Structure 1
Amino acid sequence: MPFAPLQNDTFLRACWRQATDHTPVWLMRQAGRYLPEYVATRAKAGSFMGLATNVDYATEVTLQPLERFPLDAAILFSDILTVPDAMGLGLSFEAGEGPRFACPVRDEAAIAALAVPDLDKLRYVFDAVASIRRALNGRVPLIGFSGSPWTLACYMVEGAGSSDYRLVKSLMYSRPDLMHRLLAVNADAVAAYLNAQIDAGAQAVMLFDSWGGVLADGAFQEFSLAYTARVLGQLKRDGADGTPVPRIVFTKGGGLWLDAMRALDCEVLGLDWTVNLGAARAKVGEGAQGKALQGNIDPNVLFAPPDRIEAEVAKVLQSFGTPHADRSQPGPTHIFNLGHGISQFTPPDHVAALVSAVHAQSRLLRA
């Protein structure tokens, strides 16, 4: 089905390192529990997976933040663990406990049995992408996403979230051959999953390497970065409407490895709040092969009063430096975001203050 023309392409232009009239802004986890309307819709759905697997509900909650805030992009409402769930690991979400797998993968037999899942098991995700794209009606671009191969492996081996990553790191150090097998399957599954999102209408795709930063130097390059690169190398370059699709990689705690990440075949690098944007721009954002940068205000800034939020927004914009203004050629660009996901306790009015400040202040910087 043909999609409506895009009315606000600021986010995509910034991804391609093209000059924009303002710094685009969207927020990781922007559709979520901090919004009372989301809580109401989730109650109707009965559970998180009831919400994520219902196309109408997933469409509704994806659009909810856009009704409140003039954000420059929408992101698919789903979860990073849909892929291992489709592999048969039995995903569930217990109240107050987060995600859990009934069948974690911890030995040679379990890893040998893993395979790229039948994508029909994830049809609900692709149907949601198409539904959301139609519902947006060209208002802003739609971002699809997946967890990175390493981050998925952490949950698959641990069976849930972890405070010390003891089980997954024990496997990695004691049987690196098994870990490489697991990561290879994950990478190929993630690539197929993202390509199906692109075919369904996603206009940008993002890899969340949420736990890459827990690895030691050397281990990060071998067990995380290499498999992120394997995913990127398989991704389609053009979307359902023939428009090029930019690729975003976000590694929480990855600031140490920006030099290595510069070589990734992607357009945008996401940064957490520990990284100075100006230093990152000098390292990976300049030159013909530079990356657009995304980030990176501390999500907890949103608990401060609006005037302090505005002051912190100014610091982030100023740390990136003078905006790229030459429309005849690409240059360093910035997409404003949080350094990680928004907290469920965030006051919505504070999000409104942040979005307004980003737009107003970034326009002034270009005046």
Structure 2
Amino acid sequence: MAGTKKLLQVLQGESAERPPVWMMRQAGRHLPEYLELRARAKDFLDFCYTPSMAAEATLQPVRRYGMDGAILFADILLVLDAMGLSVEFEKGTGPLVEKISAPADLDRVPAIKAADRLAPVYETVSRVREALPSETTLIGFAGSPWTVGLYAIEGRGKTDKSDAWRWAHGRPEDLAAVMDKVAEATAHYLARQIEAGADALMLFDSWAEGLPDNIFREVIIAPTRKLVERLRAMGITVPIIGFPRGAGVMLEPYAKETGVTAVGLDTAAVPFFVNAVLPPDMPVQGHLDPLLLIEGGERMDARVRELMAAYAGRPHIFNLGHGIRPETPIVNVERVLKILREG
């Protein structure tokens, strides 16, 4: 039926004969049209805050590939920028964030005002919604409280994460306060994305990997549950995908205790385990290895079919286990889509 959002139906618990598909970081550096667009912005933040450019980046992979989902082009650190911290993106280094030493460092801008500062993002959402095919699901997103808070504590992403982990062990009350402040601003930010036209939300916990189980419960499960509950209390009813990258055996309590609608599965997820511990009607999303997508060939074809078969009968969105990489050949993405759509 024309206009039916297949991906959204799967997020609502329906299984599909052939899974809908989108790919994390599908709008980005593997596309020549993206590189041309990116070259016009003075820096990455300027790109994110220019609705015409961010909307175009969001739409590019949908135009090229006919993806079932479009994910907003933005960055998880925009929330910290809006909360008053200095955020820069340095080529070859990645994001650099003004480090905090106490929760009070996040009190410069009230949560609602921080969300107001992100108005260009909502304009991007509105522009994309207007331009998207009616059958394409638009996914808004933000970082989860732990991952975003970690950047504020560490000052950057390329570290061993030990400063934030030490807060978890030695300053748990301070860490909880930091995550609460991030979560409140994030809730208003996500609510505004929905008001602007997003169909669903995704929470990225990119740094969930390797945590002790007790700390995982404190910094991943508890804050995510509070954020989801806050969104629901604000009247946000759309599906929410949680992506606790590297959760391992903690995937089960994450899925069952946070209130997320669906779970994103990382590259190391094991289908047998996923199906054994998650309710059969819970939607899952994932989890082809992005490196295999680069290599392509028969092994890639076989893995795509293996993942399709593993989750047949349960609500499943085909995706990668992490973001698509810049060196990914477009022909390999096209090959995956052909298998998914034609067999």
TM-score after normalising by structure 1:
0.88
Distance 2:141 2:334 in 1: 24
Q: Is residue 213 from structure 1 mapped to residue 213 from structure 2 by the alignment?
A: no
**1:144 alignment partner, SS class:** strand
Partner residue in 2 for 1:196: 192
**Partner residue, 1:229:** 225
Matched, 1:265 2:247: no
Aligned counterpart for 1:317 among listed residues 294, 308, 311 = 308
Gaps of 5+ in 2: none
- Cα distance in 2 for partners of 1:278, 1:13 equals 24
- CA distances 1:14-41 after superposition (whole Å, capped 9, x unpaired): 1112132421111001000111110000
CA distances 1:191-219 after superposition (whole Å, capped 9, x unpaired): 11111111111000000011112321100
Instruction: String of CA shifts for 1:153-185, please: whole Å, max 9, x gaps.
Output: 111111111331122122222211111110111
**Corresponding residue number in structure 2 for 1:300:** 291
Distance (Å, rounded) in 1 between the aligned partners of 2:179 and 2:154: 15
Matched, 1:104 2:104: no
Give the one of 332, 335, 338 matched to 1:350. Answer: 332
CA shift, 1:46, in A, is 2.5
Q: Does 1:185 align with 2:176?
A: no
CA distance in structure 2 between the partners assigned to 1:73 and 1:112 by the alignment: 35
- How far residue 109 of structure 1 moved from its aligned partner, in angstroms, is 4.7
Amino acid at match of 1:280: V
Equivalent residues of 2:225, 2:257 under 8 A apart? no
Question: Is 1:151 the equivalent of 2:142?
Answer: no
- Residue by residue over 1:198-249, the C-alpha shift from the partner in whole angstroms, topping out at 9 and shown as x without a partner, is 1111000000011112321100101121000011112249999xxx521100
The 8 Å contact of residues 24 and 336 in structure 1, kept in 2 or not, is answered as yes
2:316 is matched with: 334
What letter matches 2:248 in structure 1?
Answer: G
Counterpart amino acid of 2:296?
P
Matched, 1:276 2:266: no
Question: Offset at 1:6?
Answer: 7.2
Q: CA deviation at 1:116?
A: 2.1
Partner of 2:25: 29
**1:135 counterpart letter in structure 2:** A
Residue identity in the other structure for 2:285: Q
Instruction: Determine the structure 2 residue equivalent to 1:329.
Output: none
Task: Please name the residue that 1:75 is paired with.
Answer: 71
Partner residue, 1:249: 242
Contact (CA 8 Å) 2:23, 2:324: kept in 1 or not?
yes
User: What CA RMSD, in Å, does the superposition of the two structures yield over aligned residues?
Assistant: 2.0
- Counterpart amino acid of 1:312? R
**Distance across 2 between alignment mates of 1:303 and 1:56:** 30
Unaligned runs of 5+ in 1: 325-331, 362-367
Q: Is the 8 A contact 2:7 2:69 kept in 1?
A: yes
CA contact (8 A) 1:210 1:251 kept: yes
Correspondence for 1:167: 163
CA distance in 1, matches of 2:166, 2:258: 27
Give the distance between the partners of 1:108 and 1:73, measured in 2 at CA.
36
Residues 1:225 and 1:238: Cα distance change in structure 2 (over 3 Å)? closer
Instruction: Say if 1:276 and 1:14 are closer, same or farther in 2 by CA, change over 3 A.
Output: same
Give yes or no for the alignment of 1:90 onto 2:68. no
Q: Which moved more, 1:147-156 or 1:65-74?
A: 65-74
State the SS of the aligned residue for 1:100. Answer: strand
Structure 1 6/253 Cα, relative in aligned 2: closer, same or farther at 3 Å?
Answer: farther
> Which amino acid in the other structure matches residue 299 of structure 1?
P
The CA deviation at 1:74 is 0.4
Conservation of the 8 A alpha-carbon contact between 2:103 and 2:178:
no
- 2:316 alignment partner AA: H
Cα 1:175–1:19, aligned 2, differ >3 Å: closer, same or farther? closer
> 1:78-109, CA deviations, whole angstroms, 9 ceiling, x for partnerless residues?
001110110111111111111111x2112365
Task: Say yes or no: does 1:20 pair with 2:13.
Answer: no
> Structure 1 segments of 4 or more deviating over 4 A?
111-115, 236-240
Deviations 1:97-152 (A, max 9, x none): 11111x21123652565752512210011111111100114140100000000000
Instruction: Please give the alpha-carbon distance, in whole angstroms, between the structure 2 residues aligned to 1:305 and 1:149.
Output: 35
CA distance in 2, matches of 1:121, 1:83: 9
- CA separation of 1:141/1:168 partners in 2, compared to 1, >3 Å: closer, same or farther? same
